[in-house]
Amino acid sequence: MKRSIGVIFAVGAASSVAMAAPVTLDFEGQGYGDGSAIGNYGGLTFAAEALAFTESLYQSFYNNTTAFPSGDIAMFNASGVGSVAATSGSDFDAISAMASWWGTNDTQQSGSSTSITIEGWDDGVMVGTSTISLAQAFANISLGFTSIDELRFINDGTAGHFWLLDDLTLDFDPQTIPLPTASSLAGLGLLGLGVRRRRKSL
């Protein structure tokens, strides 16, 4: 009986390595929260224009009451640059994100981006795009990009227009996780057969 349980556990362990779970990048602990670069984070390499900013500074210095979706840090586009890229060495799925315009006194300013577009790219080819209008409060943007290796975050097309982004949810491709080989699965099957034969001979 113990050996049978061991075989079942081994088969379950071998098949479970193919599973992957979504992760949400909330940018906590990235940079200094005062406009410093995010860099490498959560399996992505963010371009130099991707900076971190704190909710506390956004509220106190810019006189806003807007709460960031989670924690104290969100990402913004340095100098209101038009496009910010984030790349990965392996494929992943992009599920969703939260975004708002950058405002002052809880109102839209001349430097507030009125929209954000997120593009999904794979091997240099754009495979999906999603755009939402922005407001003071963070809103969800649904992505649904599969098997991509790059994201591009784009403002409303005007240089110097800023957005804020948080809670970027990704799912890295299970194919990047080592899968059990056919021979290893066959070996487990033979092991199970051997256990059954032993039990019959007792």
Quick one: average pLDDT of 122-130? 98
Confidence of residue 202 (pLDDT cuts 50, 70, 90): low
Greater pLDDT, 28 or 179: 28
CA distance 48 to 177: 29
Q: Are 39 and 45 in contact (CB under 8 A)?
A: yes
pLDDT, residue 34, reads 74
DSSP letter, residue 22: -
pLDDT of 198 strictly over 60: no
Q: Are 198 and 48 in contact (CB under 8 A)?
A: no
Q: What is the reported pTM?
A: 0.78
Quick one: average pLDDT of 94-123? 98
Rg of the chain taking only CA atoms, in angstroms: 23
**Candidates 2.60.40, 2.20.28, 3.30.1330, 2.60.120; CATH matching 26-175:** 2.60.120
pLDDT of 58 strictly over 70: yes
Confidence of residue 32 (pLDDT cuts 50, 70, 90): confident
**What pairs with residue 76 in β-bridges?**
51, 164
CA distance 92 to 99: 20
pLDDT, residue 19, reads 56
pLDDT, residue 158, reads 98
Q: What rounded mean pLDDT belongs to the chain?
A: 84
Spans of all domains in the chain: 26-175
Least confident range of 63-77, 139-153, 185-199: 185-199
Cα 130 versus chain centre, distance: 15
29-to-26, 35, 54, 118 alpha-carbon distances in Å: 9, 13, 10, 23
38-47 pLDDT, tens per residue?
Answer: 999 999 999 9
Quick one: average pLDDT of 74-81? 97
CA distance 110 to 34: 21
pLDDT of 13 strictly over 60: no
pLDDT, residue 83, reads 98
Least confident range of 27-31, 83-87, 103-107, 111-115: 27-31
The Cβ of residue 48 has, within 10 Å, a number of other Cβ atoms equal to: 12
Phi-psi region of 131 (alpha: psi -120 to 50; beta: other; left: phi over 0): beta
Q: Which residues lie closer than 8 Å to 157 by C-beta, 6 or more apart?
A: 82
